[in-house]
Amino acid sequence: MASRDPRPSPEKVTPVDTPPPHDGSDAPHGFGTAAVHAGEPRRKEGNSLTTPIIQTATYTFADTQELRDHFEHRIERQEYGRYGNPTQRIAEQKLAALEGAEDCLLVSSGMAAVTTTLFAMLSRGAHVVVTDDSYRRTRQFLNQTLHRYGIECSTVRAGDYDAITQAIRPNTRILLSESPTNPYNRILDLERFAEIGRRQRVKTIVDATFATPYNQQPLKYGIDIVLHSATKFLGGHNDLMAGAVLGSADLVDGIRSLQGVTGAVVDPFAAYLLIRGLKTLALRIARQNANAQAIAEFLEAHAKVTRVHYAGLPSHPEHAIAARQMRGFGGVVSFEIAGDLDAASRVVDGCRIPQIAPSLGGVESLIEQPALMSFYELTTEERLQVGIKDNLIRYSVGIEDEADLIADLRQSLDRS
């Protein structure tokens, strides 16, 4: 059986704009401490303990000289809500510290992070290489929307690094993948992927929504840009929508400039909720890692389960890669049961703790069948062509008690 937590204690990170430890030293903080304090000034407006919500669309200037100082970059401040907000900036600084990034841009959703980044980095005649297990809406945007603007895309099989290299053309600008992937939890060898990009002078982008910065930090392996749907694990409570783009200051600044034109902004209250969610990120993800590992081990041993897709299991094809580059294996477990679409539905309907819903990453467990939730409009044959089996179930594991979650799954499987 796989160990519950194969990685050492949380790595030290250097938070952005974070007060020094209480002993007065300048030693970097652990992840949990950074999650609580990073990015936030020690003394906040109104002497508030929590970062205030600056709920305004526009900002005033004391006089015309202040306006000139702003536009000539002698002072740093806000001008208009589409170009930024103080609450948003605190959330960006906190997330940048946790990811180990120079800068972070928050946008209105995870897909806005994808689309704004690609629009900013691509132009007519450019070419993108994407792995076939990347999020279906990302691939749809590349192959349908961007195709209309003269941008080409090649889709290659995940894990085939020779195919990725061979797909690169003189006009290739981006290599795009995910890790772990949705819904099969495939793991990208980040160092190898980044090395291909450096060797071929192509920017690399990784959607790390499933991992979170607690489990994995792709920038440390040489990846150029990391994307997150902050709606999921980062917010953690299924009550906000936001996306994040992280990387070097130069790359993020270029994407931020386009966001000011396209207007895919995050509102101040969502930024406030994200700050609140990030403060408990280390606690939540550690619990979800442990719960998911236990559930994966239980499912793999159950007679009615034919396959479990979870990188924490030695049976997973990229288990060794995951153990090398991840602290934990994440909070999503996908599994296949003996039978067809209806048999999988009986298992889903028989569970009493998880709710049937899209999305993932919150404190509440959620369960769904990808064949019905995301690919309902396709036939079984069409779903199989894109790798979605009728008997596949995706379980987003929450922070409930491990024993309760397993007992609930057991009774549903035994009765179905």
Determine whether 239 is an active site residue: no
Q: Looking at the structure, do residues 163 and 299 belong to the same domain, yes or no? A: no
Q: Is residue 101 part of a domain?
A: yes
Q: Which two tokens stand for residue 202?
A: 């192509």
Please identify, among 224, 246, 279, the residue that sits at the C-terminal boundary of a domain. Answer: 279
Shared domain check, 191 and 49: yes
**Predicted pLDDT of residue 136:** 87
Half-sphere exposure of 118 (CA within 13 A, CB side): 32
- The answer to whether 232 is a known catalytic residue is yes
What pLDDT is stored for residue 266 in this prediction?
A: 96
Domain count, the chain: 2
Indicate whether 255 and 340 sit together in one domain.
no
Going by pLDDT thresholds of 50, 70 and 90, the confidence category of residue 28 is: low
Least confident range from 3-17, 36-50, 86-100, 398-412: namely 3-17
User: Quick check: 34 pLDDT over 90?
Assistant: yes
**Marked catalytic residue, from 103, 133, 189, 207:** 207
Express each pLDDT in 4-26 by its tens digit. 444 434 444 444 443 333 333 34
Domain match, 270 and 324 both: no
Please tell me which residue in 82, 169, 304, 307 is annotated as part of the active site: 82
Q: What is the pLDDT of residues 96-154, one digit of tens each?
A: 999 999 999 999 999 999 999 999 999 999 999 999 989 989 999 999 999 999 999 99
* Catalytic site includes residue 82: yes
Let me know if 157 is a catalytic residue: no
Is 4 part of any domain? no
Residue 394: which CATH number? 3.90.1150.10
Residue 133: what pLDDT? 87
Catalytic residue among 94, 232, 383, 394: 232
Starting from the edge strand earliest in sequence, which strands make up the sheet with 366-368, in order? 305-309, 332-337, 392-396, 366-368, 355-356
Of the candidates 137, 111, 327, 337, the one whose C-alpha atom is nearest the C-alpha of residue 230 is: 111
Beta-carbon count within 10 A of 90 CB: 24
- 135, 184, 272, 310: the catalytic one is 135
Domain extent for 372: 281-415
pLDDT in tens, 244-280: 999 999 999 999 999 999 999 999 999 999 999 999 9
pLDDT of residue 15: 42
Which of 279, 297, 329 finishes a domain?
279
pLDDT tens, position by position, 344-391 = 999 999 999 999 999 999 999 999 999 887 765 666 676 667 678 899
What CATH number does residue 242 fall under? 3.40.640.10
Local structure of residue 190 (DSSP, 8 states):
H
Mean pLDDT across 185-192:
97
Do residues 288 and 261 both lie within one domain?
Answer: no
